[in-house]
Structure 1
Amino acid sequence: GRIRRSQVCLGVFGVGEKSFRVIPNKVYQALACDKPVVTMRGGAYPDMPENGAGGIYWSKAGNPQDLAFQLELAVDDHNNTLSSQGKARLLYDTYFSNSIIRKRLEQMLPP
């Protein structure tokens, strides 16, 4: 589909309260498909590698100039190196896979 055909996928960039509390499903999907993502960093994200290191580029919420800059970085990284292949999927496997989410939920919820 569209994610597989893309070079880079976009997350959310809003300044609304909900934007800071969620990880959109499209971020999970893009990372699972090994596509780099440009999105804002909200409180729902786990501690993860810094900008670009793992296939995710953090944009400042509500800042179109920073969004453009991060998008340019992501596209340049994608176009200029084969070393980016596999990074987004590794990030998904490490932080967002079904088994990882299941373990986190089991830790948070009573038996």
Structure 2
Amino acid sequence: MENFFAIAFWLLVSTLSGSIGAIYLKKAMNKMPSFTLKNIATSVDFYIGAFLYILSAQTNIQLYKHLDYSIGFPMTSIGYIWTILISYFVFKEKITKEKILAIILIVIGIAFLGSAGGVS
């Protein structure tokens, strides 16, 4: 059971920080009048997004300590679910029937992978 909580924790932190990091990078790009080194260097949103991406990569490594790569990497598709939800609340994007179906398929796929084992 201890391994389950470690896996759930690292999966949550990894996928959520990656999705939020992408949101901040999008916000940074939306605010920039042009894509220049100066604009990037002075963008707080860019630094937050980059930090969260690095955090996501680091926590992914922790996740792979507990799961086989063939199981762990596909499980990071949970990030797509976070991205759909965050996009809805932050950017007011619509959640369509196709997106709901995609979420359902991701959850089903993760359930199959989780039942396949692969815990290291």
**Both structures adopt the same fold (TM-score exceeding 0.5):** no
If you compute each CA radius of gyration, which structure gives the higher value, 1 or 2? 2
- Which structure shows the higher strand fraction? 1
TM-score by length of 2: 0.28
TM-score by length of 1: 0.30
Relative CO higher for 1 or 2, CA cutoff 8 Å, sep ≥ 6?
Answer: 2
- Which structure shows the higher helix fraction? 2
